[in-house]
Each structure stands twice: as C-alpha cells, then as structure tokens.
Amino acid sequence: MSTYAVTGAASGMGRAVAEKLTAAGHTVIDVDIAEATVQADLSTPVGRREAAAAVLERCGGRLDGAVMAAGLGPAPGRERPRLIAEVNYFGVVELLEAWRPALAAADDAKVVVFSSNSSTTVPMVPGRAVRGLLDGDIDRVLGALRIFGKQAPTFAYAASKIAVSRWVRRTAVTSGWAGAGIRLNAIAPGAVLTPLLEKQLATPAEAKQIKRFPVPIGGFGDPDHLADWVVFMLSDAAAFLCGSVVFVDGGSDAWFRADDW
C-alpha cells in the first residue's frame, strides 16, 4: 500500500480523490486550510512551509505520490488575484519542490497537479502574468492583471493554470524529475460540479457566463469521475505518462482548439 499527500482534500475533487485512495487501503496525508490532518493556509509562504514540513514528517521521508487539488476559483474581490496566484501556483510548486526528495525515495512516484481547461480557453491572458508566476515575482503578476479591473480574478485564474501546466511540463522532463522516476502530470478539468463551481453559479452574472460556455458533451463534470481519472494517473497503468496535461472537459478544449495540432 502507498502513501499519498493530497492538498485540497476537504472539498470537491481533492476530497473525492482522498476518499477513493483511502477506500483502496492507501495512507492519505490530507492537507487543507481546515478540516484536515495537516491544516495550513497555502496562500502564505509560512503556511506553505508548514504544510510541506508537516507532510514530510508524517510520511517518514517517502511519498509514493501527491495530488495537488487545493485551489481558488475566479470569484470577485480585490484581493482575489493575489490569493489565486498564491494558492493555485505557489501552493503547488513550493510544496512539490519541498517533497521532491521524498518522491524520489519512492522510485516510481506519481504526481497529479490540478490545472484547468481555463488554461487554453480564456483569451488574452497576459504572458507577463504567466512569466511572473514562473519567475516567482508576484508584483509583476499583479501589475500585469491590474488593467482587467473587476475581471482580474478570471485572468489571474487562467494565468495560474497556464503557469502551473507549463511548470509541470518543464519540470517533468528538464529538471531531473523523470530521471528520479517521478511521473509529474496535470489534469485539466472543465466545469465540474463542486463547491467551487457552485459558488460561481450562485452569482447570476457568473452563472450566465458559465452556462453559455461551450461543452459539446453537455452539462457539468462529476467530481467522482474526475477522481477516477486521478486515481488512474497514480496507478501502475500510468507508468508511461510523463509531462502530460490530460483534458477531461466534455470537449470544450477541442471545441476551441481543434486545429491546434
């Protein structure tokens, strides 16, 4: 049986993954801002350091895998772009960098990072914001997003998911992670009916936009189905998957980008 760290394990898709892994007999070290074994606020550098250290202590220096599902959606608010950048990008990258030796100790560890199809379907996301994230320069990120005013959270969200996908693809193959046997991949869901999406649907203007968004298969994704994909990406059957971003989004990415190959 294996030991997995799961962030965002108190709700939505992270919770569904944690439940499936636990039911299969694995040990799950669950991380969240509340209602978790490791409680930490991933929107602050201190919270991220504490979370990283607490997991390392609990896993005894060996992690068979990690699932990075903690995230904030593009809700309105002046502070939201900063929080999105902190949790969705630094809350993934800083933890995984801290856990890398423990993942390498497992020989064939598997990591699944939650991206989003917002990474390919939101137009005009400023490259400066994405590069700012990858360079760890939050002021540059926020500066690049300021012109969007009240829409800034939407672009912050998309930028965070582009940056985290790019980080996954680069790190998987160019920083020795693959050489250390660590399979680093991302899943890019479309609209999945979790508390994150429910909050957005509760705002009439946002609900209208979400319902107008093209989903060829129709409807919303089921958190349980997405969790099955993640469990598969952690399994032996996914041993040859490395540096991939797997879109599970009812066809929206294909609808927008069918000719991009």
In the complex, the residues that contact ligand NAD under the rule CB under 6 A are: 8, 10-14, 32-33, 41-43, 69-72, 87-88, 114, 116, 189, 191-192, 194-197
Q: What's the CA gap between 148 and 164, in Å, rounded?
A: 21
Report the residue number, 43 or 165, with the smaller CB distance to ligand NAD. 43
Give least dist CB 181 to ligand NAD, A.
Answer: 25
- Which residues lie below 8 Å from residue 3, measured CB to CB, with a gap of 6+? 26, 27, 28, 29, 59, 62, 63, 64
Distances 167 to 5, 202, 225, 252, 254 between C-alpha atoms, Å = 19, 32, 25, 23, 22
121 token code pair: 């379907």
Nearer to ligand NAD, 217 or 239 (CB): 217
User: What's the CA gap between 188 and 210, in Å, rounded?
Assistant: 17
| Nearer CB in complex with ligand NAD: 88/185 | 88
Please say if 4 is a catalytic residue: no
DSSP character string of 188-245: EE-SB-SHHHHHHHTSHHHHHHHHHS--TT-S-B-HHHHHHHHHHHTSGGGTT--S-E
108 or 199, CB closer to ligand NAD?
199
In the complex with ligand NAD, the residue whose CB is nearer, 42 or 172, is 42
- CB of 209 vs ligand NAD, minimal distance in Å: 13
Q: How far apart are CA 47 and CA 29, in angstroms?
A: 16
Using DSSP's 3-state secondary structure scheme, residue 119 falls into helix
Cβ-based nearer residue to ligand NAD, 104 or 228: 228
Q: Report in angstroms how near the CB of residue 247 gets to ligand NAD at its nearest.
A: 10
* Alpha helices by DSSP H, the chain: 12-23, 45-59, 80-84, 91-104, 118-121, 127-134, 138-145, 152-174, 195-201, 204-212, 223-233, 252-257
**Shortest spacing between CB 161 and ligand NAD, in angstroms:** 7
The active-site residue, picked from 114, 157, 167, 177, is 157
Tell me how far, at minimum, the Cβ of 196 lies from ligand NAD, in Å: 3
Q: Rounded to the nearest whole angstrom, what is the least distance from the CB of residue 239 to ligand NAD in the complex?
A: 24
Q: Which residue has the tokens 């992690």?
A: 63
Looking at the annotation, which residues are catalytic?
Answer: 157
